[in-house]
Chains A and B, each alone.
Chain A
Amino acid sequence: MNEQVTFKLNGKDVSVPKGWTVMEAARRENVSIPHFCWHPGLKIAGVCRFCMVEVVGRPKLEIACNLPVTEGLEINTKTDVVKDAHKWGLEFHLINHPLDCPICDQAGECKLQDYYMEVGKYKSQMTRPKILKPKALDVGSELVLDTERCILCSRCVRFEEEVTKTNALGIFSRGDRSIIGTYNEEKLKHNYQENQVDICPVGAFTSKRFRFKQRVWFLTQKESICPGCSTGCRISVHAKPQERRYFRIKPVLDKEVNGYWMCDIGRRTFEHHNLENRLDSASLVKRGNGELAALAEQLEASSPRDIALLVSAQYLNEEYQSFFEFFVKELGVQKVYQWREPTEKRDDFDNILLRGDRNANTQGLMGTLETFGLSRNARNEFDDCLKSKSKVVIALCPEITSGFPSLGTHLTQLAEMPFVSLWTCLIEATEIKGLENLIPMKSFFEKKGTTLNYNKVERKLESPYPSAVFGALDVSEAVSALRSEMRKMLGKD
Chain B
Amino acid sequence: MSVFSEKLQDKFKHYLARYETRRSAILPILHEIQDEYGWIQPEHIESLEKEYGLAKVHVQEVVSFYSMYRTEKPRPYRIYFCDNIVCTLMGAEKTMEKIRKVMKSYEDKGLESPFSLEGVPCLGVCDGAPAMLVNKERYLRVDSEKVEEILMKYGA
Whether the Cβ atoms of B61 and A170 lie closer than 8 Å is yes
Whether the Cβ atoms of A173 and B65 lie closer than 8 Å is yes
Whether the Cβ atoms of A170 and B60 lie closer than 8 Å is yes
Judged by a CB distance under 8 angstroms, whether B57 is at the interface is: yes
Give Cα A184–Cα B64 distance, bound, in whole angstroms. Answer: 12
Tell me which of B45, B60, B65 contacts A174 (CB under 8 A). B65
Give Cα A169–Cα B64 distance, bound, in whole angstroms. Answer: 14
- How far, in Å, is B43 (CB) from chain A's closest CB? 11
Judged by a CB distance under 8 angstroms, whether A372 is at the interface is: no
Whether the Cβ atoms of A167 and B65 lie closer than 8 Å is no
Whether the Cβ atoms of B65 and A170 lie closer than 8 Å is no
Judged by a CB distance under 8 angstroms, whether A132 is at the interface is: no
24 A-B pairs whose Cβ atoms sit less than 8 Å apart in the complex: A160-B57, A167-B55, A167-B56, A167-B57, A167-B58, A169-B57, A170-B58, A170-B60, A170-B61, A171-B61, A172-B60, A172-B61, A172-B65, A173-B64, A174-B64, A174-B65, A182-B57, A183-B45, A183-B56, A183-B57, A183-B60, A184-B42, A184-B56, A184-B60
Nearest A residue (CB) for B57 = A170
Give Cα A174–Cα B61 distance, bound, in whole angstroms. Answer: 9
B58 contact set on A, CB distance < 8 A: 167, 170
Judged by a CB distance under 8 angstroms, whether A168 is at the interface is: yes
Nearest B residue (CB) for A183 = B56
Provide the B46-66 mask, 1 if CB < 8 A to any CB of A, else 0.
Answer: 000000000111101100110
Give Cα A182–Cα B57 distance, bound, in whole angstroms. Answer: 7
A168 contact set on B, CB distance < 8 A: 57
- How far, in Å, is A169 (CB) from chain B's closest CB? 6
Nearest B residue (CB) for A170 = B57
Nearest A residue (CB) for B64 = A172
- Interface pairs A-B: 8 shortest CB-CB: A170-B57, A167-B55, A172-B64, A183-B56, A170-B61, A174-B65, A173-B64, A183-B60
B61 contact set on A, CB distance < 8 A: 170-172
Give Cα A167–Cα B59 distance, bound, in whole angstroms. Answer: 11
Interface residues on B, range: 10 to 19
A172 contact set on B, CB distance < 8 A: 60-61, 64-65
Secondary structure class of chain B's binding surface, majority of residues: helix
Provide the A172-185 mask, 1 if CB < 8 A to any CB of B, else 0.
Answer: 11100000001110
Given A167-B56, A184-B60, 12 more A-B residue pairs with CB atoms under 8 Å apart are A160-B57, A167-B55, A169-B57, A172-B61, A172-B64, A173-B64, A174-B64, A174-B65, A182-B57, A183-B45, A183-B56, A184-B56
State which residues 183-234 of A face B: CB under 8 Å: 183-184
Nearest B residue (CB) for A173 = B64
A183 contact set on B, CB distance < 8 A: 45, 56-57, 60
State which residues 39-90 of B face A: CB under 8 Å: 42, 45, 55-58, 60-61, 64-65
B56 contact set on A, CB distance < 8 A: 167, 183-184
Give Cα A170–Cα B56 distance, bound, in whole angstroms. Answer: 9
Mark A residues whose CB is within 8 Å of B.
Answer: 160, 167-174, 182-184
B57 contact set on A, CB distance < 8 A: 160, 167-170, 182-183
Give Cα A172–Cα B60 distance, bound, in whole angstroms. Answer: 7
Nearest B residue (CB) for A165 = B55
Give Cα A174–Cα B62 distance, bound, in whole angstroms. Answer: 10
- How far, in Å, is A167 (CB) from chain B's closest CB? 4
Nearest A residue (CB) for B59 = A183
Give Cα A160–Cα B65 distance, bound, in whole angstroms. Answer: 20
B64 contact set on A, CB distance < 8 A: 172-174
A167 contact set on B, CB distance < 8 A: 55-58
B42 contact set on A, CB distance < 8 A: 184
- How far, in Å, is B62 (CB) from chain A's closest CB? 9
Give Cα A416–Cα B65 distance, bound, in whole angstroms. Answer: 66
Give Cα A174–Cα B64 distance, bound, in whole angstroms. Answer: 8
A174 contact set on B, CB distance < 8 A: 64-65
Give Cα A266–Cα B58 distance, bound, in whole angstroms. Answer: 30
A173 contact set on B, CB distance < 8 A: 64-65
Give Cα A454–Cα B58 distance, bound, in whole angstroms. Answer: 37
A184 contact set on B, CB distance < 8 A: 42, 56, 60
- How far, in Å, is B149 (CB) from chain A's closest CB? 38
Give Cα A182–Cα B61 distance, bound, in whole angstroms. Answer: 10
Nearest A residue (CB) for B55 = A167
Give Cα A171–Cα B61 distance, bound, in whole angstroms. Answer: 6
User: Which interface residue of B42, B57, B58, B65 has the most chain A CB atoms within 10 A?
Assistant: B57
Nearest B residue (CB) for A177 = B64
Give Cα A113–Cα B45 distance, bound, in whole angstroms. Answer: 39
Nearest A residue (CB) for B63 = A172
- How far, in Å, is A325 (CB) from chain B's closest CB? 56
Give Cα A160–Cα B56 distance, bound, in whole angstroms. Answer: 13
Give Cα A174–Cα B68 distance, bound, in whole angstroms. Answer: 13
Nearest A residue (CB) for B67 = A174
Nearest B residue (CB) for A157 = B57
- How far, in Å, is B61 (CB) from chain A's closest CB? 4
- How far, in Å, is A148 (CB) from chain B's closest CB? 18
Give Cα A184–Cα B60 distance, bound, in whole angstroms. Answer: 9
State which residues 19-55 of B face A: CB under 8 Å: 42, 45, 55
A170 contact set on B, CB distance < 8 A: 57-58, 60-61
B55 contact set on A, CB distance < 8 A: 167
- How far, in Å, is A45 (CB) from chain B's closest CB? 14
Give Cα A168–Cα B56 distance, bound, in whole angstroms. Answer: 8
Give Cα A52–Cα B96 distance, bound, in whole angstroms. Answer: 48
Give Cα A55–Cα B64 distance, bound, in whole angstroms. Answer: 37
- How far, in Å, is A190 (CB) from chain B's closest CB? 14
- How far, in Å, is B52 (CB) from chain A's closest CB? 14
Nearest A residue (CB) for B42 = A184
- How far, in Å, is B79 (CB) from chain A's closest CB? 25
User: Which interface residue of A167, A168, A170 has the most chain B CB atoms within 10 A?
Assistant: A170
Give Cα A329–Cα B64 distance, bound, in whole angstroms. Answer: 71
- How far, in Å, is B135 (CB) from chain A's closest CB? 25
- How far, in Å, is A61 (CB) from chain B's closest CB? 28
